[in-house]
Structures are given as structure tokens and as C-alpha cells.
Amino acid sequence: MSHIVVTGGYGFVGSHLVTELLERGDRVTIFDFAKNTRDTSIDFDRYPNFRFVQGDVTDVTALEAAITPDVDMVFHLASVVGVNKYVEDPLRVVDVSVTGTRNVLELSHRRGARVVFTSTSEVYGKNPDTPWAEDDDRVLGSTRTARWSYSTSKAMAEHMVFAMHDTYGLPVTVVRFFNVYGPRQNPIFVISKSIHRILNGREPLLYDTGDQTRCFTYVDDAVAGTLLAAGSDAAVGEVFNIGSMTETTMRDAVDMAIKIANVDSVSSTTAFDTAERYGARYEDIPRRVPDSTKAQRELGWRLNVDLEEGLRRTIDWARANPWYLKS
């Protein structure tokens, strides 16, 4: 049995990852700000091999209580997530990503633990040449545009990851997720927010033209890719895109959610003007498409759940969880 630490383990992706780890019999410690008690299906305390350590990844002393000498592997997910947060509190975004990741990497090195770091498609910025392979360029806007704080801070964290690997031999792997969605996601992202609004009888928002594209990845597929990366010796020192390669416009995704949810009072969308709401602090990414063939080839990763099926599962879950719809 391995002892595994998951930072941000009570978050959206983290809670699905922790479920998988506990179910396969690992000993798991979550390190997070807060214990998510709203969803009774994630009552991890019923597992004898589960432990929760509360704290902030920017606080190395708190982290030391979680990443103890017997830890074999650390999945580092803790991060400030959500475009509204990148725009409203970029200082915190940068602190958690840069200071937090440095703490996790140094402590893991001291403890002899392997690390998997969850990064993001945002690191590629607005590079117009899609699909993006792992070593493609990063194309970003001005530092006066706060939304790039997340991309830049995650890229800084990746630089630290590779430097720790190259300089100290830390066994570490980066996975870059592309628009992950599914049950329990905070309803502030295009899929989760649309489902939340539709099931509450409100029209989903359509951001600007709705022609922006994303490659939506169901959470189980993201978790599977993360576990495959963690289990592969050849993945040490490597980075993998983990994302669907099917490009969908925001308009089509939202329309699909309306159709699948099939709520009588909701048949169209409400326009949302990002320039009016966020001003110059925001800039959208017109197309976001991964080349995920490296993960397919080297990890054996496959996308199992397409958008239609993933929407259906997420909508079914939301309907069965009234607490979520009230949140």
C-alpha cells in the first residue's frame, strides 16, 4: 500500500482522484484549506486509510504535517482556479502557484516522494497554431491583463518542476488538463455554470460570440490520465496534454446542455459581454485544442467519455444532488 498525498484533494478533480486512490486501497492524505462537507458521497473519513490535514500550501510548516517521511507520492493540485479569480485576485493566484509549488517540490524532494503536478492548457495562452503539442510555444498577452496571471504562474511552477528534476533528480511529471468538467465542479465554468442555470430554470450565459472553441474533457478521463502518468516510470521528467481532441464551440456545448437537460422553460441563451463585465483585465482565448497523442502513445491514455455522454452524466448527477443546485 502506498501513502499518497493529494493537495487540493477536496476540490473538483481532487475529490474524484482521491475516490479512485482510496478505492484501489492506497493510504491517502488530503492537504487542503477546507473540508468539503456538502457532498455526502465524498465522506472520505469512512476509509480507515484516510487522513485530512488542513492548511495552505504557501505555509511550509503546515505542509510538513502532510508530506511526512513515509509518503511515496504527492499529487499537487492545490491552486486558485476560475477566470473570475485570475481577474479579481491575481496576487493570490501567483502566490499559491509559485510559493505553494516550490514548497511542495522541496518538501517532496526532502522526503524522497515522487510528484505529479497538474498544470493547464492555459500555459499555451492564445497560440493561434492549434493543436498544441507539449513543446509548442506559449503566446500570451500583456501583464496588465490580469487573466494571464494564472497561465504565467502555472508556467513558473512548471519551470520549477523541470529544474527540480534536472538539478536534483526529483521524480516529477506534469499533466496539462483541458477544460475538465463533471459532477461536483464549482458552477463557475462554462459547462458547470450552464447546467446549474438550466436545471434552476434559467437560461445559460453565452460569452461574447460563442464561437470560441474548447475541448471538453470528462473528469474520469482526466483522473485516468493522471493515474497513468503517475504509474509510468517513463513519464518521469515528462509533460503530457490530457484532453479531448474534439473541438466544440461554446455555443454548441451550451446548446447541447440545453437539449440534454430538456427543461421546459429553457430553450435559449442570455448574452454575456466579457468586455463590459471585466474590461481590459480580461482577454478570451479563441481556440484551445490539444494534441494529446503523446499521452495516447506513451501512457496508453484514451478519451472514454465524449461530450454528449459526459453532459448526460453530469446533468443526471446534478439532478440527484439538490444541494448542488442550491449552491
Ligand X SMILES: NC(=O)c1ccc[n+]([C@@H]2O[C@H](COP(=O)([O-])OP(=O)(O)OC[C@H]3O[C@@H](n4cnc5c(N)ncnc54)[C@H](O)[C@@H]3O)[C@@H](O)[C@H]2O)c1
CA separation for the pair 263, 274 (Å, rounded): 27
Q: Closest CB to ligand X among 226 and 269?
A: 226
Could you tell me the smallest distance in angstroms from the CB atom of residue 133 to ligand X? 17
Could you tell me the smallest distance in angstroms from the CB atom of residue 304 to ligand X? 17
Could you tell me the smallest distance in angstroms from the CB atom of residue 18 to ligand X? 11
CB 13 within 8 A of CB 76: no
Q: Closest CB to ligand X among 25 and 38?
A: 38
Could you tell me the smallest distance in angstroms from the CB atom of residue 16 to ligand X? 8
CB 294 within 8 A of CB 136: no
Q: Closest CB to ligand X among 95 and 203?
A: 95
Could you tell me the smallest distance in angstroms from the CB atom of residue 137 to ligand X? 19
Torsion of CA 159, 168, 175, 221, to 10 degrees: -170
Task: Please tell me which residue in 10, 124, 150, 324 is annotated as part of the active site.
Answer: 150
Which three cell numbers, joined as nine digits, stand for 210?
460563442
The CB-nearest residue to ligand X is: 11
Q: Closest CB to ligand X among 83 and 266?
A: 83
Q: Closest CB to ligand X among 14 and 90?
A: 14
CB 94 within 8 A of CB 149: yes
Could you tell me the smallest distance in angstroms from the CB atom of residue 265 to ligand X? 29
Neighbouring-strand partners of residue 310: none
Q: Closest CB to ligand X among 15 and 145?
A: 15
DSSP 8-state assignment for residue 98: I
Region of 307 (left: φ > 0; alpha: ψ -120 to 50; beta: rest) is alpha
- Strand intervals (E) in the chain: 3-7, 27-32, 50-54, 73-76, 114-120, 172-177, 180-181, 205-207, 213-214, 217-218, 239-242, 248-249, 270-272
Which three cell numbers, joined as nine digits, stand for 181?
468538467
Other beta carbons within 10 Å of 213? 19
Torsion over CA: 311, 186, 244, 242 (sign): negative
Identify whether 150 is a catalytic site residue. yes
CB contact set of 300 (below 8 Å; sequence gap of 6+)? 228
Q: How many helices (H) and strands (E) does the chain have?
A: 13, 13
- Give 58-83 as a DSSP string: T-HHHHHTTS-TT--EEEE------H
Could you tell me the smallest distance in angstroms from the CB atom of residue 201 to ligand X? 25
Q: Write out the residues near ligand X by the rule CB under 6 A.
A: 7-8, 10-14, 32-34, 56-58, 77-81, 96, 100, 118, 120, 177, 179-180, 186
Q: Closest CB to ligand X among 63 and 164?
A: 63
Q: Known catalytic residues?
A: 150
